[in-house]
Structure 1
Amino acid sequence: MTDKWVCIHGHFYQPPRENPWLEAIEPQPSAHPFRDWNERITAECYRPNAAARVVDSTNHIIEIVDNYQRMSFNVGPTLMSWMEDFAPDVHAALIEADRASMRRFGGHGSAMAQVYNHIIMPLASPRDRATQVRWGIADFEHRFGRKPEGMWLAECAVDIATLEALSAEGILFTVLAPYQARAWRPAGGDWRTDPVDPGRAYKCTLPSGRTIDLFFYDGRTAQAVAFERLLADGHQIVSRMISRGPIEGGAPALCHIATDGETYGHHHRYGDMALAWALSQVEGGWNGTRLTNYAEFRAVVPATWEVLLAENTSWSCAHGIARWRDDCGCNSGGKPGWNQAWRRPLRDALDWLREQAAAALEHVGRLLFKDAWAARDGYIDVVLRRSPEARDQFLATHASHVLDASERVRALSLMEMTRHAMLMYTSCGWFFDELSGIETVQCMQYAARVAELIDDIGGDPVESELVNRLALARSNLPDEGDGRKVWQQRVRPARIDPAKVCSHVAVHTLVEPDALKSVDVYGYHVDFLDRIERRSGRARMVAGTVRVRSRLTEAATSLCFAGLHLGEQHVTGGVRAPMEEAAWGQVIDELTGAFETADVFAAQRVVDHHFPGASLSLSSLLPGSRERVLGAVLGEAIAEAESELADAYDQHVPLIRWLVAHQLPVPDVLVTTAEATLRRRVLANLKSAHPSFQTLRDHMVEAAEVRVSLDTPEIALAASEALRVLLARIDSADGELDLDVLDTVNAAAEVAARMRSSVDLWNAQNATWRLLSRIPGLQQRSKAGDQAAGKGLAALEKLAGTLRLAVKR
C-alpha cells in the first residue's frame, strides 16, 4: 500500500453581502471593474479552479483540469446560494466535481458540508448551534444529493458541545488545526501532550458516548501556502507536504493541508495553476504518493488512535476564540494604534437581541406552530426553495392549524426574524479591525432587520435599547464615533420599506415606460391596481395605486403615487397611503386636465398639494438598476455630448498628430477629447453584434499616433467578452468550422495578446481547448485532400499558438 496519501483541502467562503431588506447584493465600487466582490472573487478564484491550467517549461498550456475534482473542499451555503443564481456554471462544476470525486475516491465525495452561515459555534446558543448544523446538512443534501460525511466549522472554532452537535446529526469527521489537539495516544496507551502527528485520523470520544473523527492538518505547510511564497512553485507544495517521516505503527501517512480556498487565485494570483500542478504530480504517483480525500482515507485507514480536544480554540486566533468577542490583539495588522475593544459590546448587544428574538419566537410561535423551534429547523426548506409552494408545504407541516392570511404573515415573519438572528452572527463581523467596516455593518444590518421583524409581529420594541447597547462600542475613526452613530449613518439608510419600493417602481415607470401589470423588485412583488399615463411634449406623467408584497413574509402594503418626468434628470413626485376612491379620482382628473392643456406647472402644483414633501427623484431608484436607468434617461444628453467631442477630435486630430510628431506637449483639453472619443469608439465596436477587429487594430494604431492609451480595464473586459461570444459561436457548432468566424477570432486573439491591460483569455482558452479535440479528424481529412479541413486545421493551430495552448502532435 502507498505509504503517503495526499489531501489538499480548500475552505471556499465569502461573507453574505446581501442587503437584508432586498435579499440582493448592492453594487460595490471597490470591486471595480466587477459589480461586487462575489463576482470579482468568482472571476479570480472560483471559476479558474474549475478549469485550471497546467503549463510546460515554455508556459504553454498542456492540460486544463478541474481542481475541485481532485481536492477536498467545502463551500459556504450562503455562497453556494449566490452562485446558483449568479454563477450557475461554477455551481454546476462544484456539484459535478463531487460526483467525479466519488468515482475517483472509492465512492467518497470530496465535498464537505459547512455550518450554515459561518458563526463561531462555541459562542452560539445551543439551539443556534443545532440549527446551524441541520441547515448546513440540509443545504448540502439539496445541492449535492447525498448525505455529508464531514462538516467544516467556521474558523475551525470548536468545543465539545459543537462536536456533540455534529455527531448527533450523523457527521463523521471534521478538520482542525494541529494545536487544537490537547492530548493524543494510541488505543490503550499513555496520553501525549507534544504536538499532534497530523498523519492520521483520530477518534474523539464525547461525553454522550458518541464519537467523531478529527483530522489535524499540517499547520506549517498550510501557513507557507497561505501566507508565504510556497505557492510560487506547485512542485514545492508536494515536496514540503510529504517531507515527513513514516508514521508510528507503519500505517499509511496522510499528508494534508487546509487553507482558505481563496488562496488559490484570489489571495495569490495563479494560485489555481500551482494547485493544479501539485495535484497533477500526486495523481501521477510522483515519489510514491497517492491522491485522496478525508472521507476515503478514514474509510481505508480507520481511526484507532484517540485524541482529547483543546476546547474554545480556532485556526485564526492565538487566544482561542477571543477574536470574536474581545480586544485580544488579533487583527489584520494594518492599523497600528487601533484597538478592537468594540468587539465585546457588539457581541453583548447582539446576544441581548438574540434573547429578545427567542422570547418573541416562543411567545408568538406557540400560537402558530406545533413547535416553533422545530419550525425554525424546518424553515431551511423555504430558504432553499423560495416559492409559494415551499411556503405552503412548510406551513402545512409545522403550523398548529390552518392559518389565515394575517397569521401566515406573522408565522413567516417569525421565521425570517430568527433566520436573521443567526445571520447577524456571521464571524466576519468581528474578525477585522474596525466597527464601521463593511463586514461589521453587515451584521448590524441583519440585527436591524431582526428588530424590525420583532415590531412587525407585535413584540415589544427593541431597537432603542439595542442602539443604546451598541453605543458602548467605540470606533477607531473619529468621524464614525460609536455604534449609535454607525447605526444612524450606515445601518438605517440601508433599510428598504414598501414606500421605497413604490418610489423605485414609480420612477422606473416614468423613465422606462412599459405595460406590465406587475413587477418583481428584489424581494418584493408589486401589482399595479390602477395606472394612468399622459405625455405632453417631452414631459410625462404617471399616477397609480400599487400593492407591494414581500415575497418572503407575504406582508402586503397598498400605496398610491404620482410622478412627473420633465426630461433628463428632472423627476418629481410623491408616494402616500391610498386615498378614498373619489378623492383619488379627483387627483387623477386634476393631473390629466393639466397635461391636456400642456400646463406642466399646474401638474406640479397638483403633485405638491396632494403629496406633501414630494420626494421622488432619480435617486429613488434602488441600487443595481440605478446606473442602467440613468444611462437610459441621460442617453440623449450623453450622445449629444459625445457627438460634439467626436467632432472636435476629428477636427483637431491633425494638430494633435503634428504636436506628437514634433515632441511638443498636447494640451490637456485635446488629450481628454481624444481619450473620450477613441475609447468610446473602441467600446462601441467591441460591444456590437459583429465586432470588427480590423477596426480595433486601426483604433489602436491611431491611439498610438495621438498618445492615447486604450489599455483600460473596461476595454479589456469588453475585448474578453467579445472574444468569448465569437468562440461560443464556433464551440456550439457541431458541423464544419466556420473559417470566417475563426479568422475573426484569430484577429481578436492577436489584438488581445498585444494589449498591455490584462485581457481575460480564460474563456477563449477553454473554448479553444475543446476545439482542439477536432484536430485529429481535421488532420486525417487534410491528408486525404480536403482543402477546407486543411485551412481549418491551420487556423485552429494558429489560434492555439496565439492563446499559448500546446497542440499535441
Structure 2
Amino acid sequence: MDSLKRFLVIHGHFYQPPRENPWLEEIEFQQSASPYHDWNTKITHECYEPNGAARVLEKGKIIDIVNNYQKLSFNFGPTLLNWLYFKTPEIYKMIIKGDKTSELKKNGHGNAIAQAYNHMIMPLANEHDKRTQIIWGIEDFKFHFGHKPEGIWLPELAVDKQTLKIIAEQGLKFTILSPHQAKKIKKIGDENWLDVSNNKIDPSKPYKLSFEDELSITIFFYDAPISHSIAFEKVLDNGDLFVNRILSGYSEKRDWPQILILATDGETYGHHHPFGEMALAYAMKKIEENGLAEITNPSYYLSIYQPQWEVEIIENTSWSCPHGLGRWKDDCGCTTGGKIGWNQKWRKPLREAMDWLRDMVDTIFEREGSKLFKDPWEARNGYIQLILNPSIEQKERFFREYQKKELSYEEKVKALKLLEMEKNRMFMYTSCGWFFADISGLEAKQNMMYAARVIQIASEYTPNLEESFIKMLSEAKSNIKEKRDGGYIYKTEIKPNIVDLKRVAAHYSIDSIFHSPKKEEKLFCYVIKNDDYIQHSFAETSFITGKIEIESIITNEKKDIIFTVIHFGGHDFRCSLKFIMNQNDNYPKIKKELEDAYLSHSITELIRIMDHHFPGKYYTLKDLFLDRRREILSKVTQEASKKYEDILRQIYEHGRDLMKIIKNLDGVIPYSYLIAASYSLKQELKDRITKLKDNIYSERIDEIFKEIDCFKLSIPLEDVIMDAEKIINQKMLTVKEGKIENVVKLISFLNKYDLLPSLWKAQNIFFDILKEKKLFYEKKEERNLFIELGELLGFKMDYFIKYPFPS
C-alpha cells in the first residue's frame, strides 16, 4: 500500500536581485515601479504579502485565509529576505512561521531551503566564489530560520559538478534540477547506464549523484510540463483546473511512492499571475482535504525514502536557457523585453569586463588580506556574520577568529574595506545583469554600481582601474542609440552617483536645514555625531555651520568634518565642507568668521570666506540622495503652489452658482473653472474623508459627488481611497473591544460612494478575531453586527456558522 502513496511538492523560488545603493545599503526610488517606491515594495504587495494570507473562496466569498508558506516548499533569495526582515517585519514573520509550522508537522523537516547567496551563475564563477556563495547562503538561512538547511536552490538552476560537490561538502542533502539537465541514470549497484537526455528522466523519484571520494548529493527533478503550464499558461485562472493539472502528473503504472515536484518562480503566485496565490491556496486545500496526495517537501520525503537510482547530469546547463549558459555570457537569442532587431552582443564584453576586474581585485585581496588574516578566503567566507550583524561585538568576535595578529584600528578598517570590496565584487555578478534585453536596463546598471564600489576601494591599492574598466565596457554596445555603450552608461549614470564620506556629510548638512539634528543619529549605514551646530536665518535665507564625526557602520572608517550651508530659499543651497586633518584646521576661528559674515547680512562676504576655508568642490541640492531630494523638492513646490491653490478655491466658490446656471442652460463652462472645481472638490472630499476617523459623517459629501456629476469632472481618487483604507484598518483594531457598529457604518458609508478601498488588511484582522471569538458574543446584537461586518468584508458567514472553529 505504501508504494501507492502520492506526494506533492510545490516549490516557489522567491527572489529579487539586490537593489540597494552599495554605499547606503538602502534601495532608492525606482520610477519604473510606480506607484510603488521600488520593485521590492511592488512585488511584496503583489506576491510575498498575499501568500502569507491567501484567500480561499466559495462562490466568491471567503471561507478561509491560509499562510501558503506553511504548505509550499520554498526558498527566498538571501538579499530579498534581509530586505523583508528590515522593511516588512510582519510579512517576514509569515515566511518564518511557514517554515516553523511545517517543521512541527513534518518531523523537523521544514519547507524552507537555502539559496546560493546573491544569485550568481555558479558554473561561470571561480571556485572561491562558489564556496563563498554556498557558505553565505547556508549561514544566512541559519540566521533567519534558526536551523541548518537540508537543501539549496541554485540560481537559474545553473549547475556543474564542482558546485554540487561543494554543496555536498557543506553537509547539504539535496537540490532540485530540470529534467533536461539529466544525462544518464542507473539502478544503484548496477553497471549499465540508461540515457535519459532530452527530458527522458522520470521525475517522480529522487536520484543520487556520487563523487569520487564517497560524497554524494540527492537530485530531485521537477515535472517540467506541469511547471511550465503553471508559469506560462492560464492554469492559475481556475483552482479546479489547477488541481486537475497537478493530478495529471501521477501515473498508476508506477509502483513506488511518487513524488511530484512542481517548481516555478514564487512570484508566479500573485505578481506574474494576479491572485495566483488564491488558486494555489485553493488547490492545496482541495488536494489535502480529499486525500488526493500528501503535500510535503523534499526534506521530509528524503527522510523516508532514499534514492534507489543514480544520475549523471549535463553540466553547464540551466532551467531558463536552452543554450546552456549562453544567457549570461553570449548573444544566444534568449531575452526578456526589448524590441525587434535588438541583440544581446553586449553580454560578452560586460562579462569580460567583470571577469577582468574580478581577477585584478582578487590579486589585491589575496596580497593585502594575507597581511591581516590567517587565510583571506576563510575570512571572506566568515564575513557573512558581519553582513548579518555589523555590531562592534560581532566584529570583535570576527577578528579574534580570523586575524593574523592583533590588528590596530587602522588595520581593522583596511581589513573591513577589503572584505566589503569582495562582497561587492560578487554582487556585480548577480545574474539579472545579463538576463534582460539591454545593458542600459536597471539590472545591468545595478551590477555596474557594485563594480564602481569595488573600484573605489581597490583604487587605494591599484590606480587606473576605472579607466581600463570603462574602456572594456565601451565594447558592450547598447541597442538604444542615446545610451551608446556600457562605458558611456558608466560615465554618465554610474560614476556621478559614487559616494564618499564627504557626500554623506553634505547630505546630512543640507538636510539639517529642515530638522534639528540630534547629538547622534544613524544616516543610512553611517553614524553621525554632532559635536557642534549653529543655525541663523534672515529674510528668505538660512545659515548653518558645525562640526561632526561621521563613521561607516560597515567599515568603521571615520572622519571629523567641518561644514557650512547657506540656503538662499526654495531649491537653492550651497554646502561646503572639509576633513579636519590637523590643528591648523581651527574650527572655532572658522566658525566665528562664517557666523560674523552672515550676521552682518553680507552674503557676498560669506561666500568669499567659504571659498577661502573650503576650496574646491561645493555641494547643492542635487547632491542629496534621491529619496530625500524628492521629499525636499516636493515640500518646496508645495510651498510655492499654496498661493495658487487658494486662488483656485476662490474661483470655484465664487463661480459655483453661475456655472450651475450656465450648465442648466446648456452653455459651455470655461475650462479654467473646471480645473478650479476639480481641485477644490477633491481637496474638500479628502478633508471630509479624513474626519471619518473621528466618526464625523457629513452630508456635504453627497453634495460634492453631485457637483462632480453635474460638471462631469474626472477626478482621480486613489489617494482619497488610500486614506479611507487606513481609517478602516485603524477602526478594525477596535472590533475586538466590541466597537463593531462604527466599522459597519464606515464601510457601508464608503460603499455608498464607491470609495471602498482594498479590504485585505481589514479581512486579516477580522479573520484573526473570528478564530478567537468563534462568534461567541454574549449579546445577540453584537453577534448580529459581527456577522454583518463579516459579510461586508466579503466573508461567507453562513459557512462559519455551519463549520465553526474548534474551541
**Band of TM-score, shorter chain:** over 0.9
Partner of 2:394: 390
Partner of 1:78: 79
Cα distance in 1, alignment partners of residues 696 and 301 from structure 2? 53
Partner of 2:315: 311
SS, match of residue 690 in structure 1 = helix
Matched residue type, 1:179: H
Cα distance in 2, alignment partners of residues 142 and 486 from structure 1? 37
SS, match of residue 266 in structure 1 = coil
1:368 equivalent to 2:368? Answer no
Kept after mapping to 2: 8 A contact 1:507/1:618? yes
Please show how residues 354-503 of structure 1 align to structure 2 within 5 Å.
354-456=358-460, 458-503=461-506
Distance 1:418-1:705 versus aligned 2 partners, 3 A rule: same
Matched residue type, 2:401: T
Q: Percent identity?
A: 35
Kept after mapping to 2: 8 A contact 1:4/1:242? no
Matched residue type, 1:511: F
Cα distance in 1, alignment partners of residues 665 and 103 from structure 2? 68
Please show how residues 222-301 of structure 1 align to structure 2 within 5 Å.
222-246=227-251, 250-286=255-291, 288-301=292-305
Cα distance in 2, alignment partners of residues 329 and 440 from structure 1? 18
Cα distance in 1, alignment partners of residues 694 and 14 from structure 2? 37
1:8 equivalent to 2:10? Answer yes
Query: 1:601, CA displacement in angstroms?
Result: 4.7
1:511 equivalent to 2:514? Answer yes
Kept after mapping to 1: 8 A contact 2:520/2:528? yes
SS, match of residue 757 in structure 2 = coil
Query: 1:290, CA displacement in angstroms?
Result: 1.8
Question: CA RMSD, aligned part only?
Answer: 2.4
Q: Deviations over 1:624-644 (max 9, x none)?
A: 222333444555434333333
Matched residue type, 1:199: S
Partner of 1:208: 213
Partner of 2:728: 723
Partner of 1:34: 36
Cα distance in 1, alignment partners of residues 639 and 109 from structure 2? 59
Please show how residues 647-726 of structure 1 align to structure 2 within 5 Å.
647-661=650-664, 665-686=668-689, 690=693, 694-695=697-698, 697-698=701-702, 699-726=704-731
Q: Deviations over 1:307-358 (max 9, x none)?
A: 1101111000010111111111111154111111111111111111111121
Matched residue type, 2:242: I
Cα distance in 1, alignment partners of residues 373 and 585 from structure 2? 42
1:593 equivalent to 2:599? Answer no
> Unpaired segments of 5 or more residues in structure 1?
784-789
> Unpaired segments of 5 or more residues in structure 2?
802-807
Kept after mapping to 2: 8 A contact 1:531/1:545? yes
Segment drifting more, 64-73 vs 629-638? 629-638
SS, match of residue 62 in structure 1 = strand
1:153 equivalent to 2:151? Answer no
Matched residue type, 2:761: N
Q: Deviations over 1:148-202 (max 9, x none)?
A: 1110000000011111011110110111111111122333274332411111111
SS, match of residue 693 in structure 2 = coil
Cα distance in 2, alignment partners of residues 481 and 448 from structure 1? 19
Distance 1:739-1:246 versus aligned 2 partners, 3 A rule: closer
Q: Deviations over 1:735-774 (max 9, x none)?
A: x41245334543465258x24xx83221011112223346
Partner of 1:120: 121
Q: Deviations over 1:178-229 (max 9, x none)?
A: 1111122333274332411111111111233211111111111111111111
Partner of 2:107: 106
Cα distance in 2, alignment partners of residues 381 and 633 from structure 1? 43
Partner of 2:526: 524
Distance 1:662-1:110 versus aligned 2 partners, 3 A rule: farther
Cα distance in 1, alignment partners of residues 662 and 213 from structure 2? 84
Cα distance in 1, alignment partners of residues 309 and 426 from structure 2? 36
Distance 1:655-1:364 versus aligned 2 partners, 3 A rule: farther
SS, match of residue 779 in structure 2 = helix
Cα distance in 2, alignment partners of residues 702 and 608 from structure 1? 59
Q: Deviations over 1:677-709 (max 9, x none)?
A: 333344455567936673494444443333334
Cα distance in 2, alignment partners of residues 68 and 700 from structure 1? 44
Distance 1:770-1:470 versus aligned 2 partners, 3 A rule: same
Distance 1:262-1:582 versus aligned 2 partners, 3 A rule: closer
Kept after mapping to 2: 8 A contact 1:182/1:307? yes
Kept after mapping to 1: 8 A contact 2:691/2:697? no
Query: 1:534, CA displacement in angstroms?
Result: 1.8
Matched residue type, 1:410: K
Partner of 1:786: none
Distance 1:261-1:774 versus aligned 2 partners, 3 A rule: closer
Kept after mapping to 2: 8 A contact 1:48/1:265? yes
Cα distance in 2, alignment partners of residues 28 and 804 from structure 1? 34
Cα distance in 1, alignment partners of residues 176 and 254 from structure 2? 22
SS, match of residue 64 in structure 2 = strand
Partner of 2:766: 768
Distance 1:306-1:573 versus aligned 2 partners, 3 A rule: closer
Cα distance in 2, alignment partners of residues 28 and 684 from structure 1? 30
Kept after mapping to 1: 8 A contact 2:9/2:295? yes
Kept after mapping to 2: 8 A contact 1:573/1:614? no
SS, match of residue 103 in structure 2 = helix
Kept after mapping to 2: 8 A contact 1:594/1:602? yes
Segment drifting more, 577-586 vs 162-171? 577-586
Partner of 2:793: 803
Kept after mapping to 1: 8 A contact 2:594/2:606? yes
Kept after mapping to 2: 8 A contact 1:563/1:607? no
SS, match of residue 448 in structure 2 = helix
Segment drifting more, 97-106 vs 74-83? 97-106
Matched residue type, 1:175: I
Cα distance in 2, alignment partners of residues 102 and 541 from structure 1? 60
Kept after mapping to 2: 8 A contact 1:539/1:565? yes
Cα distance in 2, alignment partners of residues 271 and 174 from structure 1? 25
Query: 1:489, CA displacement in angstroms?
Result: 1.3
Partner of 2:805: none
Partner of 2:55: 53
Equivalent in 547, 550, 563 of residue 549 of structure 2: 547
Cα distance in 2, alignment partners of residues 9 and 276 from structure 1? 13
Distance 1:314-1:572 versus aligned 2 partners, 3 A rule: same
Partner of 1:787: none
Equivalenced residue count is 790
Q: Deviations over 1:337-384 (max 9, x none)?
A: 111111111111111111112111111111111111110000000001
Q: Deviations over 1:272-308 (max 9, x none)?
A: 111111111112135x322111111122222111211
Kept after mapping to 2: 8 A contact 1:342/1:472? yes
TM-score (norm 1): 0.93
Q: Deviations over 1:48-79 (max 9, x none)?
A: 0000000012x011110011101100000000
Kept after mapping to 1: 8 A contact 2:9/2:261? yes
Cα distance in 2, alignment partners of residues 700 and 390 from structure 1? 60
Cα distance in 1, alignment partners of residues 748 and 694 from structure 2? 11
Distance 1:136-1:583 versus aligned 2 partners, 3 A rule: closer
TM-score (norm 2): 0.93
Cα distance in 2, alignment partners of residues 170 and 660 from structure 1? 79
Kept after mapping to 2: 8 A contact 1:563/1:573? yes
